[in-house]
Amino acid sequence: MTEQTRDQAAFLAIPEVLNGDSQALVGTLGEGIEYVREDLGPGMVEEKLGFSLDGLFDGKLGDLAAAWLMEEAVFEAYIIMNVDSAAAREANVTDEDLLTPQEARQRALAAEYHLESELVYLEYSGTFGGEEAVELLETIDDAVAWSRIWYGGGLDSRENAQAVLDAGADAVVVGNVFHEIASLEADLTEEALAEFGAGADVDRDRIEDWVAETADVGETSATRYLSTITDLPDPEDRATRYLAAGVETTLALAGIAADLDDPSMAEIREAVADSPPGEDALATVLDGDASSVATAIAVGLLAERFGLSSEESFVGPHVGVDL
């Protein structure tokens, strides 16, 4: 985990599986505390100062870091209901461990009153729980007073998202679909480069029309994801505009890449400094400085293109652009 990740994280969540083995409930917590106490805490201080202070304080830095972790972390009580998932395998959840609504209610009460879990997470991990999940959520919601309820698993439509929210979920978690969106974006940008060419100055309306003609946007993972935001009025239209913004940004970045010849990081930063590609699109969805985010993405993609390293990059496997 990088310092940038720690700085930008809203909170640190520690999972505790309520229907797995004892290792999943307390063993992994102990391992985490041990890691923070003996490695992460002292290591962060050494990284900041350039030398270690731990020998001077007889291990107290690690103790302080572990105490801070236990005080500040959000404890996330998991109920795993898909035995074919990686989460179930990790926590040793079998068919015998799947919970009835009454058992789920009791585990949720234990999580709130004994473990003081701020989150109760009903996890179906890639599969929609349907009526069973709705019944479990209703029971859990009826039991807890202040713990927040999250649902995750197989959400790819507005109807399913609304069903679990109506049943008592305070938030829904959507994960795998982002990888599908990245694949969609990669295919679209490859076709767009062939259609328009790197650096082409194409009107946004023309790009949106092209996206609508090229992809069946209503059936894409982009629209399915946006449809899980239940108060968004027109997910397909929003998906079209977002995909078009990605295409427009890629065309501009590809044009910059074509003009660079074995650049340094300083030359890459200079190339995008005046008008970072994607800044206007990001400004419509970000509260903060869209320019800095657009610059970080552009610099990261161009650095990757030329085999350079950029610590400030936001680029990851979920960014579906290959220059």
Structure tokens at 24: 């999943």
**With 70 as the cut, is the pLDDT of residue 129 above it?**
yes
For residue 192, pLDDT beyond 90: yes
Alpha carbons 72 and 172: distance in angstroms, whole number: 23
- Full strand arrangement of the beta sheet holding 148-152: 13-17, 74-80, 119-123, 148-152, 171-173
Residue 319 confidence (pLDDT) above 60: no
> 172 pairs with which residues across the strands?
151
For the segment 91-117, what is each residue's pLDDT rounded down to a tens digit?
999 999 999 999 999 999 999 999 999
Residue 281's pLDDT is what? 84
Under the phi-then-psi rule, with left for phi > 0, alpha for psi from -120 to 50, and beta for the rest, what region is 52? Answer: beta
Query: What structural domains does the chain harbor?
Result: 3-173 (3.20.20.390), 178-305 (no CATH)
Chain segment 47-86, per-residue pLDDT in tens:
777 766 666 666 677 788 788 777 888 889 999 999 999 9
Q: Is residue 261 predicted with pLDDT exceeding 60?
A: yes
Structure tokens at 256: 């910059």
What pLDDT is attached to residue 43?
74
- Which of 9-13, 93-97, 275-279 has the highest average model confidence (pLDDT)? 93-97
Q: How confident is the model at residue 195 (pLDDT cuts 50, 70, 90)?
A: very high
More confident residue, 309 or 162: 162
Give the pairing type, strands 119-123 and 148-152. parallel
Answer whether 126's CB lies under 8 Å from 153's CB. yes
* pLDDT reading at 307 higher than 90: no
Q: Which among 61-75, 135-149, 285-299 has the top mean pLDDT?
A: 135-149
What per-residue confidence (pLDDT) applies to 59? 65
Q: 307: exposed, middle or buried (C-beta count within 10 Å: 0-12, 13-18, 19+)?
A: exposed
| Section 148-156 average pLDDT | 93
Alpha carbon 9 to its chain centroid, in Å, reads 11
Q: What is the mean pLDDT of residues 27-46?
A: 79
Q: Could you give the 3-state DSSP secondary structure of residue 148?
A: strand
Q: Give percent of the chain above pLDDT 70.
A: 90
Predicted pLDDT at 55: 63
Q: Confidence band (pLDDT; 50, 70, 90) for 251?
A: very high
Indicate the helix (H) or strand (E) that contains 65: helix 60-72
pLDDT reported for residue 107: 96
d(CA 223, CA 59): 52
Which of 158, 182, 188 has its CA nearest to residue 172?
A: 158
Q: What angle do CA 240, 246, 303 make, to 5 degrees?
A: 170
Distances (CA, A) of 140 to 153, 159, 160: 17, 21, 18
Q: What is the residue-averaged pLDDT of the chain?
A: 88
- Of the two residues 45 and 194, the one the predictor is more confident about is 194
CB 41 within 8 A of CB 22: no
- Position 78 scores a pLDDT of 95
C-alpha neighbours within 13 Å on the C-beta side of residue 182: 13
